[in-house]
Amino acid sequence: MAAAHRQHKRRRLSPSPAPFDSLADELLFLVLDRVAAADPRALKSFALASRACHAAESRHRRILRPLRADLLPAALTRYPSVSRLDLSLCARVPDAALAAVPSSGSSPLRAVNLSRSSGFGAAGVAALARACPGLADLDLSNGVHLGDAAAAEVARMRKLQRLSLSRCKQVTDMGLGCVAVGCTDLRDLSLKWCIGITDLGLNLLALKCNKLTTLDLSYTMITKESLLSIIKLPNLQVLILVGCIGIDDDALASLEKEYSKSLQVLDMSHCQNVTDVGVSSIVKSIPNLLELNLSYCCPVTPSMVRSLHKISKLQTLKLEGCKFMADGLKAIGSSCVSIRELSLSKSAGVTDTELSFAVSKLKNLLKLDITCCRNITDVSVVSITRSCTSLISLRMESCSHVSSGALQLIGKHCSQLEELDLTDSDLDDEGLKALTGCTNLSSLKIGICLSISDEGLTHIGKSCPKLRDIDLYRCGGISDDGVIQIAKGCPMLESINLSYCTEVTDRSLMSLSKCTNLNTLEVRGCPRVSSAGLSEIAMGCRLLSKLDIKKCFEINDVGMLYLSQFSHGLRQINLSYCSVTDIGLLSLSSICGLQNMTIVHLAGITPNGLIAALMVCGGLTKVKLHEAFKSMMPPHMLKNVETRGCRFQWINKPFKVEVEPCDVWKQQSQDVLVR
Amino acid sequence: MDRGQNHIHGQSAANLCYQFGSDNPLLGMGIQQPFVPFTSPFGASSSTNIPHMDWNPATMLDNLTFIEDKIRQVKDVIRTMVDNGGQLPCRQGDLTQQQQVVNADLTCLIVQLISTAGSLLPSLKNSSFLSHPPAGHMDTVNHVGSSSSFIPNVTTISEENKEDMCSPEDYEELFKGFTDGAMEGGIEIDNVFVEEQDAKDGDEGGDASMDGENLPPGSYELLQLEKDEILAPHTHFCSICGKGFKRDANLRMHMRGHGDEYKSPAALAKPPRDASAEHELVKRYSCPFVGCKRNKLHKNFQPLKTILCVKNHYKRSHCEKSYTCSRCHTKKFSVMADLKTHEKHCGRDKWLCSCGTSFSRKDKLFAHVALFQGHTPALPADEPKNSSDQISRVGSHQEPAKFPSSMSSSFMWGTSSSDDRGLDIKGLAGCSEDILSTGNFGSFNFSFGPADGFTGEPSGSTFSVLPPEHFQSAQKKGKN
């Protein structure tokens, strides 16, 4: 019966010519690329249209991101030309899953990402190496359980060009030695947090893998014994040495006679044993550097900064959290004339006079970060806006001494701005009005600006059509009208934060549902938002992946039902204090990609409902629950969920419903700072 | 007496010996104990200018004046001895000391003479010199002859041989003259075959200072134990029953059984050192194996410090290695202590290379890997060599989703590998259980039907908690 049915179907299809026979695959793929760009889910519909479409879609797909590792073999047969396999949604990938990767002689698979997965060991890596001998990119980050045996298996992938072993803390010199000998083609290697690795292994690596261009040695035990051989790598362009306690002035001084022509990026942030003397001594060895990061590393002295003039092409200088000595910042202005990007965030000793002097010399600056430089006033802002008119990024969160009048200058003079962070400032509607000239603005962070209102947002909505990201955290003065103007004027909006904007209602959400690219919505502490608004969002914003509806007391199971029906891309949700019950939670758990849930203080949730939801939702990696549930749920169930790769975080915060007004909150937080 | 000088000169004397030895293997110096100190006027330069020396009349003159001075010194000492002879017979110690000094000085003189004459010897080879000796040189030679009553025949021989070129036989004859002279001085010089120095000995010469104390020859008393003595299991024997002991203390404990007289504290106490021992020369030992570097006849002779050193050295170098390591069954030792030291480390911390070579230290392995192309560090064998071939079929609770038929062995979800390192059993158990329970959920249909207030058009007709893939597979199963 079934066979007859199938025959009949074939007969019916055969007369009509396949629609894509005449179309070259290249052209077809171009079309499909466009379709996918418009709506990622459209390809699924396309594949269901006909057999030819299905086959075309099978051939077209290059990236595969399965939700469950046990479907991997089926998925790989369905999509034979996949070149990138991203398993970041599979919290647990057993060895058997990797062993099931079809091993054909010329597997097109080039990249595998296992950075978020656990459960596999050396056997799995060995199977992968056998199945895909041509693998060029392998990410084994966070493989805290992977040891030298796994590294030895990695070494069999002779064509590997990019490898990440970040946080593979059990890998020692032996494993690295195997990789160094086996994967001589490596270009990009990350050994961040590989605390088992010492100079012996690194020296061997430098000897065997001389094609390396990028090397991340953050938080390793590297000392001067191997630093020399690493600097000597002929092609090294990027060297990351974050938090290497073994790197000190002595180690840097030992490089004095060597120099690297190729090195372009050097990151020595958090190297606590490096001082300005060491930095001065290494400068000669790196004449072609483009980017230097000395955040949280050493005090900035004038002599050190003056030595930087030897690096004639330096473009980026990051000095976050550094202590500036007198005239240190001034020296940047006179010695580092070539820099385009300067970061001084959280640095101590940044004063008006010095900053004004520096920026007056750095007329070509494109990016400036002065976050938390609390001493600067209008004087600095005036000189910044006067000399750095081509700025595309200005971040000055928590510069609270700057007046609203000075903030208006930013919009008036820096019309190229694409990114602006004025969080926690005195910005008002006039300042926002001044920003109407910045038509390229894509990211605007104006949280905790209590004096802005709908009027200011209207200006933004009218003049910034490219806006993708807006942060209105605790802007108590705004209401639906302002948000509606933004939603109308910024159709490319991807992320909006309306947390604690207590006036916001469902009307805002309805207007935002027209922004089809929206993937992040935060409406925490907006008590007037309800399921009705959320359902509009769910239906309109199909790409929604992050949702924070904590303390939206009106949102109930209905909202969850809509989410489960439409928001298949949801990855992260915070449900605390909502009126959701077991039913809502269970329906939510049908979203298979869900990774991150926060479920604290939900009156309608029972332990049974919770455990059922947890059991169904296979992709969970992190769940925050109230501590009271810990004793109420059967331990073996919790263990079961944990073995799938989910981590529980037990929260013990008091139940607190009321939300204080924004001005009270700001006053309180400032009091905390003063104290 | 200046010991530093002694030492240097001692070396030069040894070199001299060698020179003779190499020219004529029958000649050699086996100086029996007591080994006598030398003094040298040459200082540091002497060792360099002796072996291939140009015949330097100035040096020769210096040497001879030194010999003269020395003779005068010895004369003075003996004179004082004669003067004091009747007065203080009780001071025996002083007398023996003086005797020793005289003895030493005399020997020194003899050796000095020999070396001075020896410096002449190589130049005898030079026929042109011999056939046409410059007047000045001949004067000096004559002077040597006249100032030293020991070797008058040196000059005679050389004069005799002036006409008929120097032949090997002449050397021998000449040297016999030396030896005769030396005999008179109380030194017996044996004609002992000295083995040619091999490369190994030359290497060992480098670590001569490893002994810590590098005494110059002659500044110590040289003893040589015989093979049987060295290999004897016991060194202390009971005078009553003859039982042997390794340690003196053990013997004393044993002696208690032979009577009460051995139980007194005095008898049980450690025997006090001889008072005279402090004045005695330091003892050094020679290995009885001829040709060994530790043998006194060796030209780069390095004495052994203690009897224990002699024993260990002899066993290590000249005995069969009879103790075999019980772990690796390859390493052999002749000293038990060596075996024990080895067994402590054998098999542990083995750093392996893919080529099969093993190293005791990681840095040595890495240096090896760095040196050889294609060699790679190998993980120790006790760590499981993980490969999926070992994944075996265990606990197939559920059918696998779908496997390509090409797979040689099918892999089960929730399988366990035979090694517990590659996969943690605990996690696996949880995993298989988990799949089971997920499966249960799968069979249970979580459809709520259309919910209240459902205004939007749902994409699928059924409302399910399950991913669509599950439905597909369920449908397939239904069809089958």
A402-425 pLDDT, tens digit per residue, is: 999 999 999 999 999 999 999 999
Q: Has residue A139 been placed in a domain?
A: no
Please give the pLDDT value at position B55.
Answer: 61
CATH code of residue A308: 3.80.10.10
CB contact under 8 A, B441 and A74: no
- For residue B387, pLDDT over 70 is answered with no
DSSP string over B398-465: S--S---TT-SS---TT-EESSTTTS-HHHHHHHHHHHHHHHHHHHS-----SPTT--SPPSSSS--S
| Nearest alpha carbon to residue A620 among A596, A650, A651 | A596
The interface residues of chain A toward chain B in range 567-606, judged by CB-CB distance below 8 A, are 583, 586-587, 589-590, 592
Chain B residues near residue A100 by CB distance under 8 angstroms? 400, 403-404, 407, 411
SS3 state of residue A220? coil
User: Do the domain assignments include residue A96?
Assistant: no
Per-residue HEC secondary structure of B101-134 comes to: HHHHHHHHHHHHHHHHHHHHHHHHHCHHHHHCCC
Nearest to B180 by CA among B142, B159, B154: B154
What is the maximal distance between C-alpha atoms in chain B? 141
Q: CA-to-CA distance for A425 and A441, rounded, in angstroms? A: 19
- Please report where in the chains the tokens 């070259």 appear, as a residue: A24
Q: Do B421 and A100 touch (CB under 8 A)?
A: no
Query: B245 and B236 in contact (C-beta within 8 Å)?
Result: yes
Higher pLDDT, A459 or B278: A459
pLDDT < 70 stretches in chain A: 1-21, 104-106
Q: Do A207 and B453 touch (CB under 8 A)?
A: no
DSSP B206-250: HGGGGGS--PPTTSEEEEE--HHHHH-S-SEE-TTT--EESSHHH
Give the pLDDT confidence score for residue A448 in this predicted structure. 93
Residue A200: its H or E element: helix A199-208
Residue A118 is classified by DSSP as B
Q: Could you give the count of Cα atoms lying within 13 Å of A168 in the half-sphere of its Cβ?
A: 32
CA A226 to chain centre: 32
What token pair was written down for A470? 């807006």
Highest mean pLDDT out of A599-608, B442-451, B459-468 = A599-608
Q: Please, what is the average pLDDT of chain B?
A: 60
- Residue scoring higher pLDDT (B211 or B103): B103
Residue A317's closest CA among A67, A657, A303, A335?
A: A335
A200 vs B362: CB contact, 8 Å cut-off?
yes
User: What was the pLDDT predicted at B265?
Assistant: 82
Predicted ipTM of the assembly: 0.83
User: What is the C-alpha separation between B284 and B266, in angstroms, rounded?
Assistant: 30
Residues B68-81 have a mean pLDDT of 82
Residue B67 sits at the vertex; the CA angle it makes with B65 and B73, to the nearest 5 degrees, is 105
Q: Alpha helices of A260-399 — where are they, by DSSP H?
A: 276-282, 302-307, 328-335, 352-361, 378-387
User: In chain A, what residues touch B362 (CB-CB under 8 Å)?
Assistant: 173, 200
CA distance linking residue A559 with residue A580, whole number of Å: 9
One-letter identity of residue B424: D
pLDDT value for A455: 95
Contact A542, A519 (CB under 8 A): no
Confidence category of residue B418, pLDDT binned at 50, 70, 90: very low
A650 located within any domain = no
Residue B256 lies in a domain: yes
Residues 406-435 of B with CB under 8 A from A: 406-407, 411-415, 417, 421-424, 426-428, 430-431, 433-435
H/E segment holding residue A395: strand A393-395
Instruction: Name the residue among A123, A152, A153 with its Cβ closest to that of B417.
Output: A123
What does the pLDDT read at residue A360? 94
pLDDT at A161: 96
Whether B88 is covered by a domain: the verdict is no
Count of helices and strands (H, E) across chain A: 29, 24
The residues in A 86-105 lying below 8 A from B, measured between CB atoms, are: 92, 94-97, 99-100, 102
Q: Of the ranges A478-487, B158-167, B331-340, B346-355, which one carries the lowest mean pLDDT score?
A: B158-167
Cβ of A616 within 8 Å of Cβ of B441? The answer is: yes
CB pairs under 8 A between A and B: 174
- Rounded to an integer, the average pLDDT of B291-315 is 87
Percent of chain B with pLDDT over 70: 43
What single string gives the DSSP state of each residue in A225-287?
Answer: HHHHHHHT-TT--EEE-TT-TT--HHHHHTTTT---SS--EEE-TT-TT--HHHHHHHGGG-T
Q: pTM here?
A: 0.65
Range of the domain at B104: 59-82+100-117
pLDDT of residue B11: 43
Residue of B nearest to A124 (CA): B388
Q: Which residue carries 């929260």 as its tokens?
A: A651
Rounded-to-5 percentages of helix, strand, coil across chain A: 40, 15, 50
Query: What's the confidence (pLDDT) of residue B456?
Result: 38
Query: Burial of B166 by CB count in 10 Å (0-12 exposed, 13-18 middle, 19+ buried)?
Result: buried
- Of A335-349, B160-174, B266-280, which range is least confident? B160-174
For residue range B233-257, list pLDDT tens digits in order: 887 888 888 888 888 888 888 888 8
Q: What pLDDT was estimated at residue B26? A: 40
| In a domain? residue A367 | yes
Domain membership flag for residue B197? no
Q: Which residues of A touch B379 (CB under 8 A)?
A: 148-149, 152, 174, 178
Domain-located, residue B190: no
B360, B342 Cβ separation under 8 angstroms = no
**Per-residue pLDDT tens digits for B44-54:** 434 434 444 45
pLDDT at A332: 93
pLDDT, residue B277, reads 56
In a domain, A271, yes or no: yes
Q: Is A516 strand, coil or helix? A: coil
Number of domains in chain B: 2
Phi, psi (deg, nearest 5) at residue A419: -130, 125
In a domain, B171, yes or no: no
User: Which of the pair, A660 or B35, is modelled with greater confidence?
Assistant: A660
Q: How far is CA A412 from CA A341, A422, A434, A441, A471, in A?
A: 21, 15, 6, 13, 21
Give per-residue pLDDT as tens, A13-27: 444 555 666 778 888
The residue range of the domain holding A275 is 241-395
How would residue B23 be classed by pLDDT, with cut points 50, 70 and 90? very low
In a domain, A545, yes or no: no
Higher-confidence position of B379 and B155 = B379
Chain A residues within an 8 Å CB radius of B438? 615-616, 618
Helix (H), strand (E) at residue A130: helix A122-131
Residues 6 or more apart whose Cβ sits within 8 Å of residue A441: A417, A418, A419, A420, A435, A460, A464, A466, A467
Backbone angles phi, psi at B291, to 5 degrees: 100, -15
Query: Mean per-residue pLDDT for B173-187?
Result: 44
Res. B340: pLDDT tops 60: yes
Q: Is the pLDDT of residue B13 over 70?
A: no
By Cβ distance, the residue of B376, B401, B424 closest to A178 is B376
Q: Do B366 and A201 touch (CB under 8 A)?
A: yes
End-to-end CA distance of chain A: give it in Å, rounded: 81
Q: Does a structural domain hold residue B392?
A: no
3-class secondary-structure state, position A84: strand
Gyration radius of chain A over CA positions: 28
Residue B232 lies in a domain: yes
What's the total number of domains in chain A?
1
Q: What pLDDT does A135 receive?
A: 92
* A221: in domain: no
Q: How far is A267 from chain B (nearest CA, A)?
A: 28
State the Cα–Cα distance between residues A197 and A216, nearest whole angstrom.
Answer: 13
| Tokens (6 digits) for B467 | 């991913």
Domain assignment present for A439: no
